[in-house]
Structure 1
Amino acid sequence: MLKIPLAGDMGSLHMTTIPELPYHPPPAEHLTENFTTSQKTILNLLNTKCSDSLENLKQAHALILKTGHFQDHYVAGSLVKCYANPQFGSLSTSLRVLEQVSQPNVFIWNCIIKGCLDLKEPFQAISMYYKMVISDSRPNKYTYPPLFKACTAEQSTEEGIQIHSHVVKRGLNADAHIISAAIQMYASLGRLKEAQHLFDSIGKSDVICCNAMIDGYMKSGDVKAAEELFQSMKEKSVGSWNTMFSGLCNNEMIEEAKNYFDEMPDKDEVSWSAMIDGYNKHGYSKEALEVFYQMQRDDIKPTKFVLSSALSACANVGALDPGKWIHAYIRRNKIMIDAVLGASLVDMYAKCGRLDLSWNVFERIK
């Protein structure tokens, strides 16, 4: 069995075990002549054919072993990333693949850290970081933003501060994406003083960091400070607008949020989703449906989350016909009904008095 460190102080890590895999050998000599071409083919296969098919992924994995490409770090990292896809949830397989790579590089470590986070295993993501450090692999600017999110999810201020100190020691503290992620982490953990200090150190020129600070103000309930910063921004991204009205929704200022939403020069899927969900969470189901109808009139393709929120709104007001239309839309566009979307359909039909249709959906997704 292989021992993996799990988290906390690097000198006294907890340990867990995972099953061993047979050793994957390095590329055979007779395969190295066309290695570059074959590598590109395999990477293309992983990136285009394996994101929604576990069967394809397993076949690609077998091909990688057969052709001797497993010890290529970019191939192995892409394989780790594919198995960690939330649609498959194969984190244990990703970990087993990682353990069989000889001296994994930063790309592979970053893939497994982000995979842990995507699969809602933030504790494991932090653990993998410490294992990475112990292995003498040097983290880069892509390593830390997911780790700050993991610390936020774990509500671990101590780990966040320690990992942030590593950023400073490695000279990566000037990167805007890292600073933005650190600001968001500190603000989410209630450490607004540290978030403000980081923000003040870079000024208001970076849109990403401004958005992070606005989000921090909103989460701490300081709506006035968030609005002042937003109004002072010379350039505003779609993310800036989304952060503002999402924060207002979370602070139960729905009317003000809708005003910002209506003023937005451009909207993306997140904008529509946030406004529908904001209305829904605070009991404004009819208004949520109105936003959904507006989305359809503007020919914006809804995500699964938007569809789920719209179905919840239908359930709350007993709107059977719109709910059936959404169900037909899902079938027409061949959208896979996962657990969340399926539960929304079951709930909508049940609350609209159609237990027969509710049962039919339940039977198909169970």
Structure 2
Amino acid sequence: MATLTSLASSQPPTSRTPSDKTLSKSIPHFISVLQKSLSIKELTQIHTQLLKSNLIQDPLIFTKILSSYSSLNLQSALQLFSSLPQRNSMHWFTLIHGCSLSPTPANSIFLYMNLIEEDPFCLNSLIFPSVIKACGKVSAGFEGTQIHSHAVKCGFVRDIYVQNSLIQMYFGCGRSKDARKLFDQMSERNVVTWNCVIGGYAELALWENVIYMFKEMVGVFSVIPNSVTLVRVVTGCCRLGDIEMGKWVHGYVVDNGVPLCLNLGNVLMNMYAKFGDMEEARRLFHEMVERDVVSWTTLISGYASVGDIGVARVVFDEMPVRNLVAWNAMIAGYVHNGCFQEAIFLFEEMQALDVKTDKATLVSLLSACARSGDLFTGKVIHGYISKMGINMTVDLLHSILGLYSKCGDIDSAELLFNKMGFKNEISFTLMMEGYVTCGAKEIALDLFKQMPHKDVASWNALITALARHNHFNDALDIFEEMQKMKVKPNSLTLVSTLSACSRVGALELGKWIHAYIDRNNIKIDAQLSCSLIDMYAKCGDVELSHNVFNKMPHKDLVSWSTMIRGLAMHGHSKVALEYFQQMEEFGAKPDAVTFLGVLSACSHAGLIEEGKYYFNLMSKTYGISPTAGRTL
């Protein structure tokens, strides 16, 4: 290590040194101050006071200030470290540990190398965890492996803290197999060890492994998890969509009396909200002793996602403190539920209260304007972005481009598109959609050919846009071209193409798509099932439509309504009415679309009395206005 100028080179005169009694009273004060979070300016001022009072000579004081400098300013820490006439293990540990916690943890590795060269006898088991964790933070796998070897040679690798840090390091470097191998070889493991493995898998998004290790932890080895473990496991359940496992973990928390701390309460609330169980999410909210903005925001987003936007607004209004995330959640909730004007009003309220916006706020608002066709307000927001000098990220540019394309202002869209320095598949796709919307189908097709790279989303967007604007044959031509280019369609491609098939009566192509789905083991979800049911019915093969419906493991309102309309369309009125009764028995609540099919069945069969009965059922029992289905 290079010799640096010492910060403590000049000592104050002996005559001004405080008495031992005064020093002993000052030491606790300075230790207390140094334990606080300080700026480099504050730390320098304290250091100056310590030099003047000669308190810098106290070993504990010296260690504390060295630790503070290590995490704030390496140059100052090195200067202080160089002033030492003799260094010990604690000095090296303090310096290396502080650097490992700083924004530049790689410096810990360099310091460790200096330690090996200059003071190898100062090496101890305390130093290894800090430098090993630093290797993990900067993905220094090669250096981490070398230090692992040093720990083996020095006999420190048996230390459980060293082993835990090695597991974290290997996960941090993406070497999960090495981490797991080390874990399996450990003779002693504690809850921190299990957390290192579970947390490592979580960082790599290997959620199946997270759940497996948790089951091993509590089921096989009977290790009691803490809140850190449980937060990661519940997160894994959310990411995997495994609500049953999530409920089991919640049950484990309750049965074993695990305290519902803030993070655990929030993540459990989020899990139930994600899966639509707002009753349980609300119960957990009230059960939590401590709540923060995340707790409130989770409720807002949850209620908005299940369509209870009014309740979401009540929760928002009841919040004791709101941050930008809460405002954004409420605005996004309005947009998600089609309450576009309310989203804009809330933005105006933000402005009145001088709440600063961010990219997420503006993206939601531009989406509201695009989806509602409110070009004027969208242009005002575009002007606001320019006036405030907000950084034009790619996401924000695409939101503005989408606004102009969807609202039919193709001139503004072209101007923005041509100014964009960076264009990707989304940029081209938005322009194509804009041209199709404005009736310039040929320009859209030419632009599609010019795209340097086409992903499946680009093909989907063009097929969907063409089908939406009644260019069904063109949509089918693009799908056939997609097959020739050997681009693998996804569920959205197939749904859009089946819609086009149903509109032009392309039964054979529809059958081919159905066979393609079966041949490639594509999961037939509710949306794809409904598209097949609708396609077969509109193409005249109600029997195949009926077969798809019967194979559905879970039938939702849309699938029931689609089947009822298909049966009514082909004169199977009695069967359609029987299906309606079955639907009610299964607990599905009919909507205007369902009743449109039911009344159509009555009309086709001349069932006047039945028609009156279902009309009254619609309007009086279910409270659906007779005009609700006019636009269908």
* TM tier, smaller: 0.7 to 0.9
Provide the residue aligned with 2:598 in structure 1: none
Deviation at 1:215, TM superposition (A): 2.2
For residues 214 and 129 of structure 1, do their structure 2 counterparts lie closer, same or farther at Cα, with a shift above 3 Å needed? same
Equivalent runs, 1:220-299 vs 2, <5 Å? 220-299=407-486
Per-residue CA deviations over 1:56-90 (Å, capped at 9, x if unaligned) read 333233233334557234433333333334xx543
Structure 1: distance between partners of 2:280 and 2:251: 14
Provide the residue aligned with 2:331 in structure 1: 148
Matched, 1:195 2:381: yes
For residues 69 and 247 of structure 1, do their structure 2 counterparts lie closer, same or farther at Cα, with a shift above 3 Å needed? farther
Q: For structure 1, which runs of at least 5 residues remain unmatched after alignment?
A: 1-31
Deviates more, 1:108-117 or 1:163-172: 163-172
Residues 227, 261 of structure 2: 8 Å contact kept: no
For residues 325 and 144 of structure 1, do their structure 2 counterparts lie closer, same or farther at Cα, with a shift above 3 Å needed? farther
Per-residue CA deviations over 1:8-39 (Å, capped at 9, x if unaligned) read xxxxxxxxxxxxxxxxxxxxxxxx98525523
Per-residue CA deviations over 1:176-229 (Å, capped at 9, x if unaligned) read 333333344355552235213223223674322222222222343321111111
Instruction: Determine which of 135, 138, 155 is the counterpart of 2:320.
Output: 135
Matched, 1:43 2:215: no
Residues 83, 94 of structure 1: 8 Å contact kept: yes
Structure 1: distance between partners of 2:435 and 2:307: 26
Structure 2: distance between partners of 1:295 and 1:64: 51
Instruction: Determine which of 161, 182, 191 is the counterpart of 2:345.
Output: 161
For residues 294 and 154 of structure 1, do their structure 2 counterparts lie closer, same or farther at Cα, with a shift above 3 Å needed? same
For residues 289 and 205 of structure 1, do their structure 2 counterparts lie closer, same or farther at Cα, with a shift above 3 Å needed? same
Q: For structure 2, which runs of at least 5 residues remain unmatched after alignment?
A: 1-222, 556-632
- SS for the counterpart of 1:265 is coil
Deviates more, 1:204-213 or 1:68-77: 68-77
Residues 46, 60 of structure 1: 8 Å contact kept: no
Deviation at 1:120, TM superposition (A): 4.1
Instruction: Determine which of 346, 363, 383 is the counterpart of 1:180.
Output: 363
For residues 252 and 331 of structure 1, do their structure 2 counterparts lie closer, same or farther at Cα, with a shift above 3 Å needed? same
Per-residue CA deviations over 1:70-113 (Å, capped at 9, x if unaligned) read 7234433333333334xx54344333333333333233333333
Residues 183, 199 of structure 1: 8 Å contact kept: no
For residues 328 and 283 of structure 1, do their structure 2 counterparts lie closer, same or farther at Cα, with a shift above 3 Å needed? same
TM-score, normalised relative to structure 2: 0.46
Residues 231, 267 of structure 2: 8 Å contact kept: no
TM-score, normalised relative to structure 1: 0.75
Instruction: Determine which of 252, 255, 271 is the counterpart of 1:66.
Output: 255
Q: Return the letter of the residue paired with 1:99.
A: H
Provide the residue aligned with 2:47 in structure 1: none
- SS for the counterpart of 2:313 is helix
Q: Return the letter of the residue paired with 2:458.
A: S
Structure 2: distance between partners of 1:257 and 1:110: 41
Residues 266, 294 of structure 2: 8 Å contact kept: yes
Number of residues of Structure 1 aligned to a counterpart in Structure 2: 327
Give the alignment's Cα RMSD to 1 decimal: 3.3
Matched, 1:78 2:267: yes
Structure 1: distance between partners of 2:427 and 2:339: 25
Residues 234, 249 of structure 2: 8 Å contact kept: no
For residues 295 and 125 of structure 1, do their structure 2 counterparts lie closer, same or farther at Cα, with a shift above 3 Å needed? farther
Provide the residue aligned with 1:108 in structure 2: 295
Residues 277, 288 of structure 1: 8 Å contact kept: yes
- SS for the counterpart of 1:235 is coil
Residues 148, 185 of structure 1: 8 Å contact kept: no
Deviation at 1:358, TM superposition (A): 1.2
Which structure's relative contact order is higher, taking Cα pairs within 8 Å and 6+ residues apart?
1
For residues 332 and 243 of structure 1, do their structure 2 counterparts lie closer, same or farther at Cα, with a shift above 3 Å needed? same
Per-residue CA deviations over 1:293-316 (Å, capped at 9, x if unaligned) read 343445544343322111112222
Structure 2: distance between partners of 1:289 and 1:317: 10
Residues 145, 182 of structure 1: 8 Å contact kept: no
Per-residue CA deviations over 1:309-352 (Å, capped at 9, x if unaligned) read 11112222333333223223434455443433222111222233
